[in-house]
Amino acid sequence: MKLEISAGARHILQTLAAAGFEAHLVGGCVRDLLRGVTPCDWDICTSARPEETERCFSGRRIIETGLKHGTVTVLVEGEPYEITTYRTEGPYSDSRRPDYVRFVPNLTEDLARRDFTMNAIAMDLERNLRDPFGGAADIERGLIRCVGEPGRRFREDGLRVMRALRFAAVFGYGIEEQTARAVHENRAMLGRVAAERINGELRRLLVGRSVGDILRRYPDVFCQFWPQLEPLVGLEQRNPWHCWGGWEHTVRAVEAAPADVTLRLAMLLHDIGKPACKSTDENGVDHFYGHPAVSAQLADEMLRALKFDNKTREQVVLLVERHGAQLPPESRVIRRWLNRLGPEAFFQLLEVKRADGMGQDLEKVKDRLLELDEIRAKAERILAEGQCLTVRDLAVNGRDVTAAGMEPGPEVGRMLRGLLERVLSGELPNERGALLAALQKR
């Protein structure tokens, strides 16, 4: 099936052409059309200067934020389209945009500044390609290759190191040999890149389908911005559960988790504290007592350093901290955990435990994996039945407690929490009569 070029993009290309300018689709949208994927946005490059572009679209809403880099954003039917004058660029220091740009007279020079051959293709309305670096052939082969000399391109902008890995993980593409070598050699360039930019690439990489391959092949790149990973990469673990070293176990656990940033981060970091907690007993068996708490502490530090939002950070740290929790498949235990974590975090924890198990000796953990399914089913039933999980769900309230003769004050809350404990454990039913009787008896 042939993918359509959006009506808005058509209109813009036609308008610029009618005014005598060159205009092409370029970058991600062309790449995605060639991959057979519907583009999520349509970038356009043109020979028109920004003020000329603005004049062409004077009847429309225009956003000027990118103007100093040659970008005019035009709204067509509510959709923003970025129209950028042919340019080269200066160094990137810390923002998403280069420090300065220089306009150039032709398309090929504009394409030459782009990072990878697959991103350096232009297309006109008749779908003719301008592809001076062989990007279409690389897409065909599924290969990521720098435009020009890879080392030089990574030194211009260190973020490209992460972009290469991100595209490889998301598309399942390979990285061409010289580009791959240059990724390793220039990983230290990431030290000059703003944490927010690395973060943006890492989140996308982690939910990519080949994330495992990339983590396996490029641990050195991840250690560059997260040096705390280094001891885990070399960690051996000799014990009956584990048939893999620390890094291979981590990679397998990441792969086994659903494609969700929080869960994938939790798996990447869940054992980060193991090296610091390692001890070997007299039988030569390795133990990692207390590692979840140490991992949680390190994870918190790492996520802060990379400027993750508070919500993601807090969720990941909680999951890392609790990943070793004992969870027998008993309703009263499940109710307690649902009460303690809330349903969202509880189900996330089940995913974490499942992924952790998938990274171990499957023969040995298969019963535990079945148990996790049982726990999930029971938890779903508890929620579907609307069973009592919080003080608010109790069949009695504070007024009942004071009516039973207790002075208003903090004791009332404590009383209700005590009743909740007994309901969660199954000792009392959540029925008004039974709870009132218990109040009388206190």
Residues 174-203 vs ligand ATP: string with x where CB under 6 A?
------------------------------
- Tokens representing 335 are 């109710």
Strand partners, 123: 25, 129
Question: Of 124, 194, 100, 185, whose CA–CA distance to 150 is shortest?
Answer: 185
User: What is the SS3 string spanning 76-131?
Assistant: ECCEEEEEEECEEECCCCCCCCCCCEEECCCHHHHHHCCCEHHHCCEECCCCCEEC
The single-letter code of the amino acid at 252 is R
- Dihedral sign from CA coordinates of 65, 67, 69, 73: positive
For the bound state, the minimum distance from the C-beta of residue 32 to Mg ion, rounded and expressed in Å, comes to 9
Binders of ligand ATP among 106-145, rule CB under 6 A?
A: 114-115, 119-120
Binders of Mg ion among 256-285, rule CB under 5 A?
A: none
Size of the site for ligand ATP (CB under 6 A): 10
CA distance 254 to 268: 6
Q: Is 160 in the site for ligand ATP (CB under 6 A)?
A: yes
Q: Is 80 in the site for Mg ion (CB under 5 A)?
A: no
Region near ligand ATP per CB under 6 A, out of 133-141, 154-162, 358-366, 388-396? 154-162
Could you tell which of Mg ion, ligand ATP, none binds residue 160, using a CB distance below 5 to 8 A set by kind? Answer: ligand ATP
For the bound state, the minimum distance from the C-beta of residue 160 to ligand ATP, rounded and expressed in Å, comes to 5
CA distance 373 to 360: 17
For the bound state, the minimum distance from the C-beta of residue 117 to ligand ATP, rounded and expressed in Å, comes to 10
115 or 176: CB nearest Mg ion: 115
65 or 390: CB nearest ligand ATP: 65
Using CA atoms, how far residue 382 sits from 77, 274, 337, 371, 423, in Å, is 47, 35, 12, 16, 13
For the bound state, the minimum distance from the C-beta of residue 347 to Mg ion, rounded and expressed in Å, comes to 33
Binders of Mg ion among 8-47, rule CB under 5 A?
A: 28
13 or 159: CB nearest ligand ATP: 159
114 or 153: CB nearest Mg ion: 114
Q: Is 300 in the site for ligand ATP (CB under 6 A)?
A: no
CA distance 401 to 435: 10
Write the Ramachandran bin of 60: left for phi over 0, alpha for psi from -120 to 50, otherwise beta: beta
Q: Which residues make up the interface to ligand ATP (CB under 6 A)?
A: 27-28, 43, 114-115, 119-120, 157, 159-160
Contact residues: Mg ion, CB under 5 A: 28
